[in-house]
Structure 1
């Protein structure tokens, strides 16, 4: 398992990646909670901003089922970048520096170039997924679009659209898996050290390859917590997004020397 990831050193100068226990993500959440409590106002400010943005996007897509599902899944794709300000808060808090909301914005400006490139990458992926989502609906979903309130029950749980559900989950899951592997620690790494985007993404892929058990647990926790955020009409996201953002910083510090 290690050999394919070790060959990355032939092309990139990558930092050493640690191997951690599969239960370690629970510790990341605990440390993330500690950071959130210590910087409550700044953390919740990010939670409120992105919960509000998410609610507006979902409300806009409410009459377009394919766009609504793409928006929900797309939230997972852009989440690592959306939490960049939270990484900066954790970074400053760890160093004993001022970590207000304004301080985090200054930190974002200092790393603006790298974040812009990474944002462009995620934007391309998100646009591609939105188009693929529309194509899958056109190919496999037959009939009138159901009411959004019953959409998941009528389409995903009824058994009447098995081909559509399987294709949607396979394609969406493959895209999400690749983006997760390339982004799980890459944005915190860009915020923490002078590194280019490609090196950060390859380090992230290596961290996932060396810690499949822990990364599977971490991915499951992210899906469950973000799912709770959506189930509560983005209200829960106000606290859950900052928690995951701070925890992701500790995941990076734990995995990358």
Structure 2
């Protein structure tokens, strides 16, 4: 593992109100492929602990597909929401990779503590438990905004009402003489780009260090702005592999979800040197 993964002793916690950001590294174009390789290694090392995440989300996605297969906007909203909050849902996968990196034992307790006690901090006002909750809510609001904006665009410009997935295919994707689908895709890309930039390393940083949402989001933007081409490749890989998982009747998500979750941890470790920030550790007796 690269030497920069080993952090020096931590400095004292900064005074309240001080906004301090970690250093962001430049990476090579092929770095996303290395993150995928490291993520795949972690899937094998964690075994069912990792795959269980993908299995749960695949079952949930299959249930949504069954319930809303003939209601396009409900289906679109559900899957848009899933894509937006995926960095939050992968939190325990980051924790597993973090433990592996440190040589710590992993087990079901690692996952349980991630969702119950990992974010505990006696410095509750600075990067406390609610940081990740607030960030998840913000992402959910962003996903809702996209669905509402998309619905307004399609409702105003589609030649016929769109109620089912087949309506969307006929009246938007295959509509003759129009460019509604291209406009819809462009608008989606414009809305997805800032969401990606805000979240690509934010959640692993919130898990790993006692930081607040603003610090995490600003660090994530710095990582993207410093590495625009590698991060564009990373965004394409995340989206492409996720779509492959969905296109296989959700079955591919069983492996792809944990793979991308672990890989996202390694993306964070490669891009961000957070050694100047206090760690988020479990309280004594947890």
Counterparts of 1:13-162 in structure 2 under 5 Å? 13-109=20-116, 110-111=118-119, 112-145=129-162, 148=165, 150=166, 153-155=169-171, 157-160=173-176, 162=178
What residue number does 1:6 align with?
Answer: none
The DSSP-based 3-state class of the residue aligned with 1:21 is coil
Offset of residue 141 of structure 1: 1.5
TM-score between the two structures when normalised by the length of structure 1: 0.89
Provide the C-alpha distance between the structure 2 equivalents of 1:82 and 1:179, rounded to a whole number of angstroms: 16
Give the total of aligned pairs: 246
Structure (1 or 2) with the greater helix fraction:
1
Q: How many angstroms does 1:184 deviate by? A: 0.3
Q: CA RMSD in A?
A: 1.9
Q: Higher mean Cα deviation, 244-253 or 78-87? A: 78-87
Partner in structure 1 of residue 216 of structure 2: 200
Q: CA deviation at 1:38?
A: 0.3
Task: Flag the 1:35–1:161 CA change in 2: closer, same or farther, 3 A.
Answer: farther
DSSP 3-state at the match of 2:27: coil
Q: Which moved more, 1:20-29 or 1:127-136?
A: 127-136
Structure 1 CA distance for aligned equivalents of residues 269 and 200 of structure 2: 12
Q: Distance in 1 between matches of 2:142 and 2:156?
A: 21
Compare CA radii of gyration and give the structure with the larger one. 2
Distance 1:256 1:92, change over 3 A: same
TM-score (norm 2): 0.80
